[in-house]
């Protein structure tokens, strides 16, 4: 049995991505279409993977999980725990969304809004991008990374959520040793 215990949490952050241009009538399309500019940026984000990272908490988690796993998964978990983590092993493990979320900052487009009429080119197109930021990084740092990923100076990238920091909590050795024996022992 494996019991997941939260010892740290990623920072929740929402970013509003906005493309603005002159718009116009759909019978006279132009290459500077706000919707195309925004979707180009979102496609770049979809193709981007934030760097692999580990901290004390994720390292301990995967060390303990590796003892319960078998085969390639266990070997990959041990390989990422090395002093020089095996990035190919990390990539294989990242195919599983729950593992991937433990290795890095993740961002996903979650909402879109554009246009005002079916026969008009949008003057504004907006997307919400929700990021779960790996501990040790700030929302501003990720905002700057998003600007670089999008590679379009015409886009506005605005931080729109309240920052809540979740520091790594230091382990209480007595509780952790009881938890290793049985999750039920925490209630004693």
User: Both tokens of residue 18?
Assistant: 């906005």
The answer to whether residue 156 scores a pLDDT higher than 60 is yes
DSSP conformational letter for 183:
G
Q: In whole numbers, what is the pLDDT of the chain averaged over residues? A: 88
Residue 92: both structure tokens together: 């294989």
CB atoms within 10 A of CB 128: 16
Determine the average pLDDT of the residues in 9-14. 90
Domain-located, residue 2: no
What is the arithmetic mean of pLDDT over 55-59? 92
What is residue 31's predicted lDDT score, i.e. its pLDDT?
86
**What is the pLDDT averaged over residues 160-173?**
59
Are 85 and 122 within one domain? no
HSE, CB side, 13 Å, CA atoms: give it for residue 122.
17
Report how far residue 139's alpha carbon sits from residue 50's, in angstroms, rounded to the nearest whole number.
14
What is the separation, in whole angstroms, between the first and last Cα of the chain?
19
pLDDT score of 1 more than 50: no
Among the ranges given (6-20, 72-86, 143-157, 171-185), the one the predictor scored with the smallest mean pLDDT: 171-185
* Whether the Cβ atoms of residue 122 and residue 131 lie closer than 8 Å to each other: no
Full residue range of the structural domain in which residue 35 is found: 7-50+105-180
Q: What is the mean pLDDT of residues 57-69?
A: 94
Query: What total of structural domains would you count in the chain?
Result: 2
| For range 95-103, the mean pLDDT | 94
Residues 175 and 138 in one domain: yes
d(CA 102, CA 62): 10
* H-type alpha helices, 24-122: 34-47, 56-68, 71-80, 87-94, 97-103
**28 and 83 share one domain:** no
Same-domain status, 86 and 123:
no
> 68 with 95, same domain?
yes
Question: Is 62 contained in some domain?
Answer: yes
Does the residue 187 lie in any domain?
A: no
pLDDT of residue 63: 96
Mean pLDDT of 114-136: 96
Percent of the chain with pLDDT strictly greater than 70: 81
Residue 187 pLDDT greater than 80, yes or no: no
Residue 106 pLDDT > 60: yes
Task: Please give the helix or strand (H or E) that residue 180 lies within, else none.
Answer: helix 173-181
């Amino acid at each position: 049995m494996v019991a997941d215990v939260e010892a740290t949490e990623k920072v929740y952050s929402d970013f509003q991505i906005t493309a603005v241009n002159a718009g116009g009538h759909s019978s006279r399309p132009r290459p500077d279409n706000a919707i195309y500019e925004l979707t180009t940026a979102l496609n770049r984000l979809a193709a981007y993977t934030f760097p692999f990272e580990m901290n004390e908490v994720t390292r301990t988690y995967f060390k303990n999980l590796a003892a319960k796993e078998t085969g390639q998964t266990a070997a990959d978990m041990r390989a990422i725990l090395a002093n020089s983590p095996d990035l190919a092993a990390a990539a294989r493990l990242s195919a599983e969304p729950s593992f991937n979320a433990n290795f890095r900052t993740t961002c996903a487009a979650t909402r879109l809004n554009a246009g005002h009429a079916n026969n008009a080119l949008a003057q504004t197109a907006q997307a919400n991008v929700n990021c779960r930021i790996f501990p040790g990084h700030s929302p501003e740092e990720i905002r700057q990374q998003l600007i670089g990923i999008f590679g379009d100076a015409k886009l506005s990238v605005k931080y729109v959520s309240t920052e809540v920091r979740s520091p790594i909590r230091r382990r209480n050795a007595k509780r952790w040793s009881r938890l290793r024996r049985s999750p039920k022992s925490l209630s004693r």
